[in-house]
Amino acid sequence: MLRKPGGDREMVDILALVLHHDEQTVLTAVELSLAEGVPTKTHVLNLLHRLVDGKVIGGPPLDTPQALALHREPKANVERYDGLRSQISGGRHAS
């Protein structure tokens, strides 16, 4: 954290969390963020709130696709929208 600008301030903010939360819970959040390789104040706060709220941390990995595949490309049907607009506005166009 000290290698980036403002890292010392983030570290002080993380240490100050023990004034509002249990010391062991803060320590657990810091250890989890270090283990995940994301030692930032925002990530520590996120983990801390998850621990306090009792939400699951480090659940089973999700099997998500790397990219979404489009099987059928949508067609632009401008006439359909012109027809809908004419029904609503009584057959008049804005132009």
- Taking each helix axis from N to C terminus, what angle separates 7-15 and 41-53, rounded to the nearest 10 degrees? 20
Asked whether residue 29 is assigned to any structural domain, the reply reads yes
Asked whether residue 86 is assigned to any structural domain, the reply reads no
The 10s digit of each residue's pLDDT in 53-93 is: 887 676 777 787 788 888 888 888 878 777 777 666 555 55
Asked whether residue 77 is assigned to any structural domain, the reply reads no
Q: How many domains does the chain have?
A: 1
Positive or negative torsion for Cα 10, 38, 17, 47: positive
Q: What is the pTM of this model?
A: 0.56
Residues 6+ away with beta carbon under 8 Å from 92: 86
Q: How many Å is the maximal CA-CA distance in the chain?
A: 70
Structural domain containing residue 2: 1-55
Asked whether residue 19 is assigned to any structural domain, the reply reads yes
Asked whether residue 64 is assigned to any structural domain, the reply reads no
The 10s digit of each residue's pLDDT in 1-39 is: 667 788 888 889 999 999 999 999 999 999 999 998 888
pLDDT of residue 90: 57
The 10s digit of each residue's pLDDT in 46-56 is: 999 999 988 76
